[in-house]
């Protein structure tokens, strides 16, 4: 137990250092480039690797901490969710660092993996009992319908693939947030765990709003481009705490 506690503290300390390095480099690039998208994008090398390392450590922490989960199946769902999260982050960061010419492919893969992450969280937070292995039918129908509509719009040429994926993802994150806020209180999560799940999903949602703002482009040095660059620099300060709260929500907390 002492070894586990020490290991967790070391991992958290390394995550904190990497997050600090990422933040300093983000703001240094912003100070050097100003609100110029291409300049900032070209300077992202270090952050792509530090973010990949943070994602790996957070996933490792999910596997370690969830060993003390209040439920064996909750442990399984959480671990599967964080594997998808890791794959999504690697797509956005590590894959882009290694193959910068495939930016579109890295974005598409990242969004798809995070959709699966959200589906696993919806499943996790909406279960009614330990024996409940199925997501609520209403959630599956909603998510399935949204995905089909997005695919059809893209196939008909009405929208581009990235727009279709972003629209589908937006409905996924809203559904996952609503379920994460409401469902754990109604079902079998202990109260304190449900509270952590609620705040984890709300914080993750804020991080995704910042992701959306960071994707909005404008003319160089314009107000919109400035908002985009600043939003990008705050994403991981919401993303990492959200992930840590979701991990902690797996472990039964004594009064």
User: In this model, does residue 45 exceed pLDDT 60?
Assistant: yes
Whole-number pLDDT of residue 154: 59
Average pLDDT, the chain: 83
Q: What percent of the chain has pLDDT over 90?
A: 33
Percent of the chain scoring above 70 in pLDDT:
82
pLDDT at position 201, please?
A: 95
Residues found in the chain: 255
Report whether pLDDT(107) > 70: yes
SS (H, E, C) the chain: CHHHHHHHHHHHHHHHHHHHHHHHHHHHHHHHHCCCHHHHHHCCHHHHHHHHHHHHHHHHHHHHHHHHECCHHHHHHHHHHHHHHHHHHHHHCHHHHHCHHHHHHHHHHHHHHHHHHHHHHHHHHHCCCCCCCCCCHHHHHHHHHHHHHHHHHHHCCCCCHHHHHHHHHHHHHHHHHHHHHHHHHHCCCCHHHHHHHHHHHHHHHHHHHHHHHHHCCCCCCCHHHHHHHHHHHHHHHHHHHHHHHHHHCCECCCC
Which of 10, 28, 9, 3 minimizes the C-alpha distance to 233? Answer: 28
- CA dist 91 and 114 (Å) reads 10
Q: So what's the pLDDT on residue 147?
A: 65
Structure pTM?
0.86
pLDDT band at 2 (very low <50, low <70, confident <90, very high): very low
- More reliable by pLDDT, 231 or 34: 231
For residues 71 and 61, the model is more confident at: 61
Residue 35 confidence (pLDDT) above 90:
no
φ and ψ at residue 244, rounded to 5 degrees: -65, -35
The two structure tokens encoding residue 102: 């495939």
């Amino acid at each position: 137990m002492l070894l586990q506690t020490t290991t967790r503290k070391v991992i958290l300390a390394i995550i904190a250092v990497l997050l600090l390095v990422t933040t300093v480099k983000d703001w240094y690039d912003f100070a050097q480039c100003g609100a110029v998208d291409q300049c900032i994008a070209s300077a992202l090398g270090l952050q792509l690797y530090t973010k990949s390392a943070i994602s790996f450590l957070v996933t490792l922490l999910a596997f370690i901490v969830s060993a003390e989960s209040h439920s064996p199946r909750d442990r399984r769902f959480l671990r599967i969710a964080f594997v998808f999260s890791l794959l999504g982050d690697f797509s956005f960061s590590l894959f882009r660092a290694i193959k910068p010419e495939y930016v579109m492919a890295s974005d598409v893969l990242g969004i798809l993996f995070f959709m699966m992450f959200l589906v696993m969280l919806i499943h996790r937070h909406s279960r009614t009992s330990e024996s409940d292995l199925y997501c609520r039918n209403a959630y599956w129908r909603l998510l399935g319908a949204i995905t089909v509509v997005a695919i059809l719009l893209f196939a008909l040429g009405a929208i581009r693939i990235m727009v279709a994926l972003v629209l589908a993802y937006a409905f996924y994150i809203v559904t996952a947030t609503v379920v994460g806020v409401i469902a754990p209180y109604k079902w079998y999560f202990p109260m304190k765990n449900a509270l952590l799940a609620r705040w984890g999903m709300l914080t993750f949602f804020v991080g995704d709003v910042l992701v959306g703002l960071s994707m909005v482009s404008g003319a160089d040095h314009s107000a919109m481009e400035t908002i985009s660059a600043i939003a990008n620099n705050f994403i991981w300060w919401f993303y990492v705490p959200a992930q840590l709260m979701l991990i902690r929500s797996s472990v039964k907390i004594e009064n």
